[in-house]
Amino acid sequence: MNRFPVAISLGAYGADFVRERGQAHFIPLLADAGVTRIELREELFTGREDFPALGEAIRTQGLECLYSAPLELWLEDQHQPNPELEPTLQRATLCGAAWLKVSLGHLTDDSDVAALADRLARYDVHLLVENDQTSQGGRIEPFSRFFARIDALQMPIGMTFDIGNWMWQAQSASAAAQQLGRYVEYVHCKAVARNAAGKLIAVPPRQADLHVWEQLLKHMPVGLPRAVEYPLQGDDLLEVTRAQVNALAHLGQPHIQPMQELSHV
């Protein structure tokens, strides 16, 4: 049986650790763990990176590359797309990324969605828009309006569906999957819990979480790439990463027994 593709969002290894080692450090580990796609995180770059060399290292290991940027597609009170979109597309291209992931931002009825086509036309990078944790970009309704307009214009833009982020705005992930699932091209997986201070944080999944994720995936195209976006920690990062990759690769597969134990992560 074919495994479904799994990505690792490099923030999963901890921001300080990734900045200290550099994102290129993790490329061989991901390849050895059976990862399909590396998700580079713009906020974890230090300014010392050689983007073309990074892209070549990713290609050499046979990995796909997605570039994630903390950029809102629409800024408040601006009708045109964020002017930082184009330089971000340039950086993604230098890294050899096939996808750029951004947030929705402040979409309004006056937002010039059609203008995105002009911004994207010069780049061989596919745009994915993700639900984040903000009030403007973390609710179902703005995404429904955005993708209805994208559909009407027949623009090739997809959605990154972050399962855990809906909780920050008290949105139902199940309702979001039912309403937006047909637009989804990439899934961010993370369980969410409250820490001692009452703050929502990403945590590794328990068996019940994996079951919920299976149900959500039923509303989306079969076999979508799914990403680890929860902490990967332990003495043996390869073993930890491989275990989580195997768990996510089996989600949505028929007649697969779920992993029995994830508590060591």
CATH number of domain containing 137: 3.20.20.150
Residue 40 lies in a domain: yes
Residue 211 lies in a domain: yes
pLDDT at 254: 74
How many folded domains does the chain comprise? 1
For residue 260, pLDDT over 50 is answered with no
What would the pLDDT profile of 131-178 be if each residue is shown by its tens digit?
999 999 999 999 999 999 999 999 999 999 999 999 999 999 999 999
Residues 46, 48: Cα–Cα separation, whole Å: 6
pLDDT at 1: 53
pLDDT at 107: 98
Residue 49 lies in a domain: yes
Residue 258 lies in a domain: no
Q: What is the DSSP string of 149-161?
A: HHHHHT---EEEE
pTM of the model: 0.94
Residue 192 lies in a domain: yes
pLDDT at 214: 96
Residue 181 lies in a domain: yes
Q: How many residues does the chain have?
A: 265
Residue 260 lies in a domain: no
CA 233 distance to own-chain centroid: 19
Residues 126, 158: Cα–Cα separation, whole Å: 8
Residues 29, 218: Cα–Cα separation, whole Å: 30
pLDDT at 253: 84
Residues 253, 2: Cα–Cα separation, whole Å: 9
Q: Which domain holds residue 195?
A: 6-249
CA end-to-end span of the chain: 26
